Structure 1
Amino acid sequence: MPLTFRHLTAPEFIDLAPALVDLYIAAMKYPVTIRDQRIAVWRRDAASSGFAAIAAYDGDQLAGIAYGFKGTRDKWWDLQLRRGLFRQQAMTPAMITVIRNYFEVAEVHVAPGLQCKGTGRQLMHRLLACTNEPYALLSTPEVPGEKNAAFGLYRSLGFLDVLRNFTYEGDSRPFAILGRKLPLT
Structure 2
Amino acid sequence: MPSIPGSSPRTPDVQVGPLDLAARVDDALAVQALAFGLSEEEVGVRRHIVLRHNLQRGCRALGATTADGRLVGFVYGLPNDRVHWWSTVVEPYLRVTGDDGWLDDSFVITELHVHPAFQARGIGRALITTLTDGAGQPRSILSAIDTESPARRMYRSLGYADLARQVHFPSAPTPYAVMGAPLPLRRPGTAGSGAGGI
Q: Do both share a fold (TM > 0.5)?
A: yes
Which residue of structure 1 aligns with residue 163 of structure 2? 162
Quick check: 1:80 aligned with 2:101? no
Please say if residues 140 and 177 of structure 1, whose CA atoms lie closer than 8 Å, have aligned partners that are also in contact: yes
The aligned counterpart of 2:137 is 133
Which residue matches 1:36?
44
Structure 1 runs of 4+ aligned residues shifted over 6 Å read: none
Deviation string, structure 1 residues 37-57 (Cα, Å, up to 9, x no partner):
111100110111221111001
**Partners in 1 of 2:57 and 2:81 — Cα distance?**
8
Counterpart position of 2:13: 2
Q: Counterpart of 1:180 in structure 2: which amino acid?
A: A
User: What secondary structure, in the 3-state scheme, does the structure 2 residue paired with 1:24 have?
Assistant: helix
SS of equivalent to 1:165: strand
2:71 pairs with one of 54, 62, 69: 62
- State yes or no: 1:116 paired with 2:120: yes
TM-score by length of 2: 0.83
2:91/2:100 contact within 8 Å kept = no
RMSD, aligned CA: 1.3
2:90–2:167: 8 Å Cα contact kept in structure 1? no
- Unaligned ranges ≥5, structure 2: 1-11, 187-198
Whole-angstrom CA distance in 1 between matches of 2:146 and 2:40: 22
SS in 1 for 2:107: strand
Deviation, structure 1 residue 34: 1.0
Alpha-carbon distance in structure 2 between the residues aligned to 1:23 and 1:96 = 32
CA distance in 1, matches of 2:13, 2:90: 37
Residues 52 and 130, structure 1, Cα contact 8 Å, conserved in 2: no
Number of aligned residues = 174
Greater helix fraction, Structure 1 or Structure 2:
1
Counterpart of 2:191 in structure 1 is none
Alpha-carbon distance in 2 for matches of 1:151, 1:97:
22
Aligned-partner SS, 1:158: coil
Q: Deviation string for 1:106-144 (max 9, x for gaps)?
A: 01100110001100000011110120111100011122x
**Residues 160 and 180 in structure 1, CA contact (< 8 A), matched pair in contact too:** yes
Counterpart of 1:179?
180
User: Cα gap change, 1:28/1:96 in structure 2, threshold over 3 Å: closer, same or farther?
Assistant: closer
- The answer to whether the 8 A contact 1:141-1:175 is kept is yes
Aligned-pair CA distance for 1:183: 1.4
**2:23 match: secondary structure:** helix
Secondary structure of 1:14's partner? Answer: coil
CA deviation digits over 1:41-96, x for unaligned, max 9? 0011011122111100112211100000010022100111112223xx22x3xx34
Identity %: 25
Aligned partners of 2:173, 2:41: CA distance in 1, in Å?
A: 18
Which shifted more, 32-41 or 102-111?
32-41
**Structure 1 residue ranges without an equivalent (≥5):** none
| TM-score, scaled to structure 1 | 0.89
